[in-house]
Amino acid sequence: MSTIELKVPDIGDAKDVDVIEVFVKPGDVIKKDDSLITLETDKASMEVPAEVGGTVKEVRLKVGDKASEGTVVVVIEAGASATAPAPAAAPAPQAAAPTPAPAAAPAPAAAGGTIEVKVPDIGDAKNVDVIEVFVKAGDTVKQDDSLITLETDKASMEVPSPAAGVVQSVAIKVGDKASEGTLILTLAAAGAAPVAAAPSPAPAAAAPAPAPAAAASAAVAAPAAVAKVDEASFSKAHGSPSVRKFARELGVDLGKVKGSGPKGRIVASDVQAFVKSVMTGATASPAAAAGGSGVGLDLLPWPKVDFAKFGPIETKPLSRIKKISGANLHRNWVMIPHVTFNEDADITELEDFRKQISKEWEKSGLKLSPLAFIIKAAAEALKAFPEFNASLDGDNLVLKQYYHIGFAADTPNGLVVPVIKDADQKGLKQIAKELTDLSALARDGKLKPTDMQGATFTISSLGGIGGSGFTPIINAPEVAILGVCKSQIKPVWNGSEFTPRLMCPLSLSFDHRVIDGAAAARFTVHLAKLMADIRRLVL
What's the pLDDT band for 283 if we cut at 50, 70, 90?
very low
- Residues 417-444: pLDDT tens digits? 999 999 999 999 999 999 999 999 998 8
The larger pLDDT score, comparing residue 16 to residue 99, is at: 16
What's the pLDDT band for 194 if we cut at 50, 70, 90?
very low
185, part of any domain: yes
Output phi, psi for 217, to 5 deg: -65, -25
The pLDDT value given to residue 10: 81
Among candidates 196, 145, 139, which has minimal Cα distance to 169? Answer: 139
164, part of any domain: yes
Residue 221 has pLDDT above 80, yes or no: no
Q: Of the ranges 202-216, 231-245, 337-351, which one carries the lowest mean pLDDT score?
A: 202-216
Residue 411 has pLDDT above 70, yes or no: yes
Q: Is 319 exposed, middle or buried (0-12, 13-18, 19+ CB in 10 A)?
A: middle
The pLDDT value given to residue 364: 86
Specify whether 167 is located in the same domain as 192.
Answer: yes
Q: What's the domain count of the chain?
A: 4
Q: Is 306 exposed, middle or buried (0-12, 13-18, 19+ CB in 10 A)?
A: exposed
Q: Tell me if residue 338 is catalytic.
A: no
Residue 290 has pLDDT above 60, yes or no: no
402, part of any domain: yes
Strand pairing of 66-67 and 480-484?
A: unpaired
Among candidates 243, 70, 246, 241, which has minimal Cα distance to 159? Answer: 241
The pLDDT value given to residue 79: 63
Nearest-Å Rg of the Cα atoms of the chain is 27
Residue 269's domain spans which residues?
206-307
CATH number of the domain to which 344 belongs: 3.30.559.10
Q: What is the 3-state secondary structure (H, E, C) of 334-374?
A: HHCCEEEEEEEEECHHHHHHHHHHHHHHHHHCCCCCHHHHH
Specify whether 524 is located in the same domain as 427.
Answer: yes
519, part of any domain: yes
Specify whether 163 is located in the same domain as 33.
Answer: no
Specify whether 157 is located in the same domain as 212.
Answer: no
89, part of any domain: no
Specify whether 444 is located in the same domain as 518.
Answer: yes
SS3 268: helix
Specify whether 302 is located in the same domain as 356.
Answer: no
Per-range mean pLDDT, top range of 25-29, 255-259, 283-287:
25-29
- What gap in Å lies between CA 10 and CA 319, rounded to an integer? 25
Which one is catalytic: 330, 338, 512, 526? 512
- Residues 32-77: pLDDT tens digits? 888 899 887 766 667 888 888 889 999 999 988 999 989 999 999 8
The larger pLDDT score, comparing residue 461 to residue 96, is at: 461
Among candidates 206, 107, 116, which has minimal Cα distance to 156? Answer: 206
329, part of any domain: no
The pLDDT value given to residue 82: 43
The larger pLDDT score, comparing residue 318 to residue 431, is at: 431
